[in-house]
Chains A and B, each alone.
Chain A
Amino acid sequence: MSHAQAAGEFLRDAPRTAWHDKTLWMVRARRDVRAKAVPDWEPLREAASRIKEHTLSRLSQYLQQFEAAAQANGVQVHWAADADEHNRIVLEILQASGSRRLVKSKSMLTEECHLNGYLQANGVEVVDTDLGERIVQLQNTPPSHIVMPAIHLRRVEVGEVFHEHLGTPRGMDDATELTRAARHHLRGHFLHADAALTGVNFAVAENGAFVVCTNEGNADMGAHLAPVHIACMGLEKVIPRQEHLGVFLRLLARSATGQPSTVFASHFVRPRPGQQMHVVIVDNGRSRQLAQPKFRKSLACIRCAACMNTCPVYRRSGGYSYSYFIGGPIGSVLAPNVDKAKHSDMPFASTLCGSCTAVCPVKIDLHAQLLHWRQEVVKAGLSPWWKTLAMRGMQWVLRRPARMQWAGGWMRRFLPLVNALRLDPWTQSRDLPSAPKQTFRQWLQKRKGGEL
């Protein structure tokens, strides 16, 4: 299904779409208020951008430095070239430690690798513990947003899911009561987990520490109680120095949800006595993206989702309208690197308004990259035949002034027909403006009183 078709499905439920749009815009507005309250916001973005660019230019060095420091801290470091290897490594760690029950905090990387299904098929009980992720896990669906996984669902629907799976009373739809029910249910899982898996927000090369940010406290709850902690990170998560955390932590929560900081920013350095701590560093296409100068900067992303919240297309089409598990501008820049053919229409799910670039805390040129991907997609012959045909036609017309003149006159006359027939998606919901009485050329000729 194309993005446009999937968006059409989402748009069928008009009140939900309106709510989705309004709610994400509210998050964007909260971000604006917070950002404006920081006097050095722009220098901060500049610093973040340059630190990331520097890091990417010496990534292999920093990865090795991080590895050595983490190992010296007693952390076991693993390397995974792709999703399969990542999943195998996690399973091996679990099996070697006799772990059957795993609690997970939010990790987009494990979503990318489809870890849950793999572990479950191998007899591991996997419980997502972020509230939003738990809701979608119980529904057997993927998250629709990287920071707010269940943003597409209404309270009543969450109530139904909990009634079915957690045994809450039918019709319970109060957010506080539902959250309490989830807290109770998940606490049981935390207390009995054999292992905890977390993501990594930042990995510090100079001292081997890694930082995990949450509001709910689920990463801490899992990691501090279970005898085994596995932290999975994409190789772009490394930063050179601890002091750089000051830059990124100031930006992250403000950009993501408009909070001054996340409730927990936990710095893991060494395992606690008797605990095993593992870090899995994953490539899975990242080094390929790094090799492409036009798209390299996308690896600076800190997954705040500000670009999604501000995107007029994302807000009105929902996370499920995108063919990749990360939607919105950043998803549309990352996805074609994973599979250009499969995600060929994602770079087109944008108005190129540039709002994403304007809010991005690490200054990724998102809209420019979207445009570059469009060019790559067309070059690879992956754009739909009608678009290619239309472009060829356009090219043919624009090449000769005479053809242009003829086509202009023709267009003026047939515009009312285009509006009446409503054959293309644009005119299905709005009219093209009515054509002027004369062409620009005719007008100019008249003014100058003669030949051009």
Chain B
Amino acid sequence: MSRASREVILGAVSAAQPESLPLPDLAALGLGVGERPSVAAAVAILDQIGARVLRLRDLNQVRQWVMQAHVEGASVVSAVPGIEGSVRLGELQSPRDLDGVELGVMRARFGVCENGALWLEESDLAFCRALPVIVQRWVVLVGAQDWVADMHEAYARIGQWHSGFGLFLAGPSKTADIEQCLVIGAHGVVEATVLIVDEGLEPLA
């Protein structure tokens, strides 16, 4: 059934499509002109979209920050090497077991200044794709140097990648489906913290 439809559809599309038009040259169209967004712009946007931003010196400070969450009684799961959680990802039977875990710690490959989005690949989630969405709060580390101006630079940086999954994550989940009232925390996290780390982060593989 499906096989026959494939031929029918592709035949109909081939017959219907107009004469081939050229692929536009994006650079020639003037994309990326004007002032380039900076990390300061990203911080302002993250604030607008409901994420907290902290600037930390190094991994030690990050550890202390996470430790503080432990002390306050939160269950922590970490996908960042060198940062210990109270729940070990390797011991989970299913990603569903993360339901109820309070804090998820991850590290983004880079951030995008124009919209505050952070790029994470499957390996940055310890291969638990549900991690950024199933925990109650997330904290994402990103190097102070690891920022690109806009989405064009972002895809240039991603280039050919080999993960099975990757995402741009911009702030805590939200909805405005009831009377356009903004509510932070729809299905994903209700609280998001971005830690911009000045030094000492290992280069990502």
Interface residues of A (CB under 8 A from B): 23, 26-27, 38-40, 43-44, 46-47, 50-51, 53-54, 56-60, 63-64, 73, 78-81, 85, 88-89, 129-132, 135, 148-151, 153-155, 158, 175-176, 178-180, 183, 186-187, 190-191, 207, 215-218, 220-221, 223-225, 235, 240, 242-243, 245-247, 249-250, 253, 257, 259-272, 281, 283, 287-288, 290-291, 293, 296
Give Cα A369 to B150, complex, Å. Answer: 33
Q: Is the CB of A54 within 8 A of B21?
A: yes
Q: Is the CB of B178 within 8 A of A283?
A: no
Give Cα A63 to B155, complex, Å. Answer: 22
Chain B interface secondary structure, helix, strand, loop or mixed? loop
Q: Is the CB of A270 within 8 A of B164?
A: yes
Q: Is the CB of A178 within 8 A of B178?
A: yes
Can you list 28 contacts pairing A with B, beta carbon distance less than 8 Å? A40-B32, A79-B5, A153-B178, A154-B179, A215-B174, A215-B175, A216-B174, A216-B175, A218-B187, A220-B167, A224-B95, A224-B133, A224-B134, A225-B134, A243-B152, A246-B154, A247-B31, A253-B115, A261-B168, A261-B170, A263-B169, A264-B169, A264-B173, A266-B167, A269-B165, A270-B165, A272-B164, A291-B15
Interface check B24, CB cutoff 8 A = yes
Q: Is the CB of A58 within 8 A of B5?
A: no
Q: Is the CB of B29 within 8 A of A150?
A: no
Q: Closest CB-CB distance, A175 to chain B, in whole Å?
A: 4
Q: Is the CB of B167 within 8 A of A264?
A: yes
Please name the residue on chain B nearest to A253 by beta carbon: B115
Please name the residue on chain A nearest to B131 by beta carbon: A224
Q: Is the CB of A179 within 8 A of B29?
A: no
Interface check B116, CB cutoff 8 A = yes
| A221 / chain B contacts, CB cutoff of 8 Å | 130, 133-134, 187-188
Interface check B158, CB cutoff 8 A = yes
Please name the residue on chain A nearest to B114 by beta carbon: A260
Count of chain A to chain B residue pairs whose CB atoms are closer than 8 Å in the complex: 261
Q: Closest CB-CB distance, A363 to chain B, in whole Å?
A: 12
| A132 / chain B contacts, CB cutoff of 8 Å | 175, 177
Q: Is the CB of B2 within 8 A of A215?
A: no
Q: Closest CB-CB distance, A409 to chain B, in whole Å?
A: 51
Q: Is the CB of A243 within 8 A of B26?
A: yes
Please name the residue on chain B nearest to A242 by beta carbon: B155
Q: Is the CB of B31 within 8 A of A183?
A: no
Give Cα A74 to B151, complex, Å. Answer: 27
| B71 / chain A contacts, CB cutoff of 8 Å | none
Q: Is the CB of B151 within 8 A of A246?
A: yes
Q: Closest CB-CB distance, B108 to chain A, in whole Å?
A: 13
Give Cα A253 to B10, complex, Å. Answer: 31
| A150 / chain B contacts, CB cutoff of 8 Å | 177-178
Give Cα A39 to B30, complex, Å. Answer: 10
Q: Closest CB-CB distance, B79 to chain A, in whole Å?
A: 14
Q: Is the CB of B17 within 8 A of A59?
A: yes
Q: Which of A47, A53, A245, A261 contacts B155 (CB 8 A)?
A: A245
Interface check B45, CB cutoff 8 A = yes
Interface size classification for chain B = 35 or more
Q: Is the CB of B1 within 8 A of A85?
A: yes
Give Cα A85 to B1, complex, Å. Answer: 9
Contact A39 to B18, CB < 8 A, known contacts A183-B185, A250-B151, A287-B13: no
Give Cα A60 to B23, complex, Å. Answer: 15
| A131 / chain B contacts, CB cutoff of 8 Å | 175, 177-178, 186
Q: Is the CB of B9 within 8 A of A281?
A: yes
Q: Which of A40, A88, A153, A266 contacts B31 (CB 8 A)?
A: A40
| B1 / chain A contacts, CB cutoff of 8 Å | 85, 88
Q: Which of B19, B129, B152, B185 contacts A220 (CB 8 A)?
A: B129
| A207 / chain B contacts, CB cutoff of 8 Å | 160
Q: Is the CB of A79 within 8 A of B188?
A: no
Q: Is the CB of B18 within 8 A of A57?
A: yes
Give Cα A78 to B99, complex, Å. Answer: 33
Q: Is the CB of A260 within 8 A of B31?
A: no
Q: Is the CB of A267 within 8 A of B187?
A: no
Give Cα A426 to B81, complex, Å. Answer: 70
| A58 / chain B contacts, CB cutoff of 8 Å | 17, 20
Q: Which of B19, B21, B181, B187 has the most CB of A within 10 A?
A: B187
A-B interface, 7 closest residue pairs, ranked by CB to CB distance from nearest: A39-B34, A217-B188, A270-B164, A216-B186, A132-B177, A291-B16, A175-B181
Given contacts A215-B174, A269-B166, A272-B165, 18 further A-B contacts (CB under 8 A): A38-B114, A40-B33, A47-B31, A50-B24, A57-B21, A85-B1, A129-B187, A132-B177, A155-B178, A179-B175, A183-B186, A217-B186, A224-B129, A224-B134, A225-B95, A260-B45, A261-B116, A271-B164
Q: Which of B20, B24, B132 has the most CB of A within 10 A?
A: B24
